[in-house]
A and B are shown apart, each in its own frame.
Chain A
Amino acid sequence: MRTWFTGSVFGVVALVATALPLTAWAERPEVWEGYLDYAYVYSSADAENLAARLDEYGGDAGSSLDAYIARHIESDAAARQDRDSASQQVFDRREATAWLLIYLARDDAGALAKSVAAAERLLGHLEKAENRYWFHYVGAHAALEAGKPAAFSKQLYALWLHAVAPLESHYASLEALALDQAPAAGFVSALPYLHENLARLILLRSPALGVDRDLDTLTPLVRLLHEGRVGAHPEVIPLAASAKPYLDRIVQRLDGPESDGGSLTFTLALFEASKHHNRARGLLAGEGLSPATLQAMRLASGAYATAYDRAYTLQGRAAVYTRGLRQLGELYAAKQRLGVDPEIEVPVSIEGAIGIYAELHAAGANDRWRNVGYAEHGRPAYIEGLHGLWQEIQEALLNAADYHLASSREAKTSRDAHSRDAARLYAQYLSFFLDYANAQEPEGVPDSAYFAAYEAAKGVGDAYLFYAKNPTGEEIDLAVARYRGAMSLFPFDRGVWSSLATALERQGRESAYLDLVKSTALAVTRSRALDRWITADRPGALRIDRLRRAFSDSSAVLYLGFGEGIPLEEFESDLASAEDERESARAELAALRAERDVLWSGVPAVPSTVGASFEGPVLPPVGARRDLDERIAKADTRLARLERVTQARAHVLPLYRDTLASEGIALEIRARRDHPVHQLLRRIYYEIRS
C-alpha cells in the first residue's frame, strides 16, 4: 500500500514536473526568427493562404505569431537600450515584418500601423538592402491602405531604386556561377521573390484595395518586371505559383488594341471589369439570370463605367465600349433564351458605340489615328480596334433584334410593337453598314460585317412578313426589297429565296419572281471571286459550287423559290409517278397505233401489175377512223407533255438535291466571325457593285 502510494506520488510529481515546463520548452522563438527573416518568400500570398501558413509556422515554433511578438518583441522593449545597433535593427526589421504579416493575413489596420512604426526605426540603418526592402515594402502597403497612389508609386520606385536594382547585377553574376543560392549569397538570393512581390503589389494588391487611379507612373516598373524578371527563375519560383501569366496578360493589354495610350491605370481598371464580366458570364451559364448573376452583371457594369471614366484617349473609350457592348449582347441573348426581362443598367449604348466608331473611323484619315492612342501600336492595332468595336455593335444590334423577334412570337398584345422594334434595329445595322462599307476606305469594316448585313436585311423582311400581325403594303414592298438585298449579300441561303417568293405571293406578283432573282443568280454564276474560291478549293468550295450550278438553271431557281417546305421524297415520288404516267402514255399510244394498224389491215393493197383484177377497197367506217385518229393525237400530245415534264424534273432534281447540301453554311459562318467564307462574301459584295 505504502509502495503504491509512494509510487503514485512520484508518478504525479514526475508528470507535473515534465508537463509544466513542456510549453516553455516547446516554444522555439528561433523558428519564428527564421520564418520572419525569409518572409519575402511567402508575404505575397493571399490572406487566406497566408493565415494558414502563419498557423502552420506557429505549430512549428510552439507559439502563435502574436504570442511571439508579445513575448519576444514587445516585452523586450526595455532591452532595446542594451542591444547594439546591429542586433537592434534585426529586431526592428523582424517586428516590422511580423506586424505586416498579421495585417496582410487579417486585414488589421492596427497591425499595419505598428509595422510602419517599427519600419521607421530602420531609417538609420538603410545601408543594408534587406532593411531598405522592408522599409519601402511596408511603406508601400501603408500608402495603399491610405489610398494614396502617389505615395504608393514613390515607395515602389524607392524600393526598385534602392533595394532591387542594386541586387540585380550581383545576382546575375552569382547565378552565372550557380552561386545564387549559396548560404553566403545573403539577401541577393531573394531577388526573384522581390520581383514577384513587386509585381503582385502593383497588379493584385492595388486593385484589391480600390486604388484605381494615378498608377500610370508605374507602367515602366510593370514593363521592367515583365522583361525577364518575373517568372525568369522557375527553379526558384515555379511558374504555377508565379504572377507571370497575369503579368503577361496585363502587358499584352498595355501593348494591344485595348489599351489607352499605354495607361496602366486604365488597363488595370479594364482588366478588373473583365474579371467581373467573366464571373457574371460563368454565373449566367450556370444559373441563368439568377439574383447572383444580376448582381455580378451590375458589378461588371460599374467596373466598365469606372474604366470608361479612366479612359483618356479614343482608343481607351473604344476598348470599354467594345467590352461593354459584349455584355449588352450577352444580356439580350440570355433574355431571348430564358424568356425573362430583368431590370439592369448597362453603361454603354449602341448609339454611343456608333458615335465612338464614327470618331475612330474619322481618325483614319491623314494618319490622325496616331493621335487617338495608337501611336505606339501602329495602324494594324488601330484597324483591329475598329473591327473589334464594329463586331460588338453588330452582335449587340442583331441580338437585340432577335430578342424582339422572339418576343413578338410570344407576346399577344405587343406582337406588332416587338416585330417593328426588331425591324428598326435591323435597319439601324444596315444603315450603319452602308455608311462604312460603301465608304472610300472600307478597311475598318470587318469581314463578318457582310454576312451580318445579310442577316439584318433578311431580318427586316422576316419581321414584316412573318412576325408583324398586319403588315402594310409598304412594309411588304420593303420586305421584298430587303430580301433581294439579303440575297445579293449572301446568296447561299435557300431560305431567303423562298421568303422572297412568299413575299411576292402576298403581293400577288409570283410571276415576277424569276425576273427579280435573275440578276443575283447571274452575278453568282459569273463571279470571278467565287470561281477562284472554288478552283482553289477554299473552305466550303464543294457546297458552294453545287449551289452555283443550281443558280445557272432557271428551273432550279424556281425550285429554290417555290419548292421550300416540300420534302425531297415528294419531288422524287412525283418524278417517279410522272415517269410511270409517261410509260403508260407510251403504252396507250402504242396500243392505239396498233389498233389503227389492225383497222387498216382489212383493206387489200392495190395490185402492182396493170390488168390484174381489183375489186376496189373496203374502207373502215369513217366515224371509227376519225375517233381513233383523235385518240391517237391526244395520246401523242399527252406523251409529249409527260416527256417534257419528266425530262425537266429529272434534269432539275439532282441540281435541287445538291442545293440541299448547302444547308448549314449560314449557321456555320454565323457562329464563327473568323470563318473564311466571310472573306468570300466581302469580295463578292464589291465585285457585284463594281
Chain B
Amino acid sequence: MQRAGTIVMLRVVLLGMLVFGLAACAAKPPIDPILGAKLSAEPPPPLGGASLAKARDELRRAERELVHFQKTLVSLRQRSDVDGHNRFRRTVWEHLVQQVDPLLARAWPSEHLELAALDAQLRLMKVEVLLQMGHPLLCQRAINDIRRRFPDTNRILVTAPTAGDATLEEALMAVQLRRYEYPILRKSRRTGAVKG
C-alpha cells in the first residue's frame, strides 16, 4: 500500500516536472531588466528599406537552398543510393532545424504584403523536402500549418517542383496526394534489394 502511494507520488512529481518544463519552453523569453519589455520583444516587421530587402533575401536564399536539397533527395532516390539518401536526410534535417525553421517561426512574414508569397513559397518547399525525406506526417502537419496561415490558398501563386506554376492550393493538393509515395529508403539485409 505504502509502495503504491510512493509510486503515485513519484508520478505526480514527474508530471509536475514535465508540465513545468513544457511551460518553461512555451514561456516568452525573459525580459531584460535594463531594456525593459518593449525593447526585449521581437522587432517590428519591416515595412521597407534595407530591413525588408534583407528579410526578402533571407527567404529567397532559404528557398533556393531547399530547391537544391529537394532535387538532390529526388536524384539520390532515383539512383537507389540508400546510404547517401539517409546521410543527406540527416543533413537536410539539421539544415531545416537550424536555418529554415527560425525563419518560418516568425508570424509576420505570412501576413506581410510583400513577403507573404515568398513565405508561402518557402513553406511549400519545406513540405516538398519533407515529402522526399519520407516524413508524411510532418509533411501533413506543415500543410495544415500553411492552410492555417493562408486562409485563401487559391489567391497565392507559387512555383512547385512537380506542379510547376500553380496556386498554392493546387500545389498543396499535389503534395498531399503523393505524401505516402516516398517512404524512407531501406536496403534488405538478406537480398540487398532497395525498398522504398
The residues of A with any CB-CB pair to B shorter than 8 Å are: 150, 153-154, 157, 161, 165, 168-169, 172-173, 176, 214, 216-217, 219-220, 223-224, 227, 261-263, 312-313, 375-376
B77 to A: closest C-beta gap in Å = 10
Given A161-B95, A172-B54, A214 contacting B83 (CB threshold 8 A): yes
The interface stretch among B65-73, B134-142, B163-171 is B65-73
Can you list 22 residue pairs at the A/B interface with Cβ under 8 Å?
A150-B83, A153-B91, A154-B87, A157-B95, A161-B95, A169-B61, A172-B54, A173-B50, A176-B50, A214-B83, A214-B84, A216-B75, A216-B79, A217-B91, A220-B71, A220-B72, A224-B65, A227-B64, A261-B75, A262-B75, A313-B79, A376-B71
Measured between beta carbons, the chain B residues less than 8 angstroms from A217 are 72, 76, 84, 87-88, 91
C-alpha gap A161/B94 in the complex (Å)? 9
C-alpha gap A232/B72 in the complex (Å)? 24
C-alpha gap A224/B99 in the complex (Å)? 15
Measured between beta carbons, the chain A residues less than 8 angstroms from B76 are 216-217
Measured between beta carbons, the chain B residues less than 8 angstroms from A224 are 64-65, 68
In the A-B complex, the 10 residue pairs with the smallest Cβ-Cβ separation, listed nearest first, are A220-B68, A217-B88, A312-B79, A262-B75, A157-B91, A223-B68, A219-B72, A220-B72, A220-B69, A217-B84
Closest residue of A by beta carbon distance from B97: A161
Closest residue of A by beta carbon distance from B95: A161
Measured between beta carbons, the chain B residues less than 8 angstroms from A375 are 78
Give a binary string over B98-111; 1 marks a CB under 8 Å from any A CB, 0 the rest: 11000000000000
B41 to A: closest C-beta gap in Å = 21
C-alpha gap A263/B78 in the complex (Å)? 11
A218 to B: closest C-beta gap in Å = 9
C-alpha gap A165/B75 in the complex (Å)? 24
A153, A173, A214, A220: which contacts B65 (Cβ < 8 A)?
Answer: A220
Whether B54 pairs with A173 at a CB distance below 8 angstroms is yes
Whether A261 pairs with B57 at a CB distance below 8 angstroms is no
C-alpha gap A217/B64 in the complex (Å)? 16
Measured between beta carbons, the chain B residues less than 8 angstroms from A313 are 78-79
Measured between beta carbons, the chain B residues less than 8 angstroms from A261 are 75, 78-79
The residues of B with any CB-CB pair to A shorter than 8 Å are: 50, 53-54, 57-58, 61, 64-65, 68-69, 71-72, 75-76, 78-81, 83-84, 87-88, 91, 94-95, 98-99
Seed contacts A173-B50, A224-B64, A262-B71; 8 additional CB < 8 Å A-B pairs: A150-B83, A150-B87, A161-B95, A161-B99, A173-B54, A214-B84, A220-B71, A262-B75
C-alpha gap A216/B72 in the complex (Å)? 8
A154, A169, A172, A262: which contacts B91 (Cβ < 8 A)?
Answer: A154
Measured between beta carbons, the chain B residues less than 8 angstroms from A165 are 99
C-alpha gap A176/B68 in the complex (Å)? 26
C-alpha gap A168/B64 in the complex (Å)? 14
Measured between beta carbons, the chain A residues less than 8 angstroms from B80 are 312
Closest residue of A by beta carbon distance from B94: A161
Measured between beta carbons, the chain A residues less than 8 angstroms from B95 are 157, 161
C-alpha gap A173/B68 in the complex (Å)? 24
Measured between beta carbons, the chain A residues less than 8 angstroms from B79 are 216, 261, 263, 312-313
B80 to A: closest C-beta gap in Å = 8
Measured between beta carbons, the chain B residues less than 8 angstroms from A223 are 68
Given A219-B72, A219-B75, A262-B75, A153 contacting B87 (CB threshold 8 A): yes
Measured between beta carbons, the chain B residues less than 8 angstroms from A157 are 91, 94-95
Closest residue of B by beta carbon distance from A375: B78
Whether B84 pairs with A172 at a CB distance below 8 angstroms is no
Measured between beta carbons, the chain A residues less than 8 angstroms from B99 are 161, 165
A261 to B: closest C-beta gap in Å = 6
C-alpha gap A169/B99 in the complex (Å)? 12
Measured between beta carbons, the chain B residues less than 8 angstroms from A262 are 71-72, 75
Which has the most chain A C-beta neighbours within 10 Å: B61, B84, B95? B84
Measured between beta carbons, the chain B residues less than 8 angstroms from A176 are 50, 53
Measured between beta carbons, the chain A residues less than 8 angstroms from B72 are 216-217, 219-220, 262
Whether A219 pairs with B57 at a CB distance below 8 angstroms is no
C-alpha gap A163/B83 in the complex (Å)? 26
Closest residue of A by beta carbon distance from B90: A154
Whether A169 pairs with B54 at a CB distance below 8 angstroms is yes
Closest residue of A by beta carbon distance from B75: A262
Measured between beta carbons, the chain B residues less than 8 angstroms from A312 are 79-80
Measured between beta carbons, the chain A residues less than 8 angstroms from B68 are 219-220, 223-224
Measured between beta carbons, the chain B residues less than 8 angstroms from A168 are 61
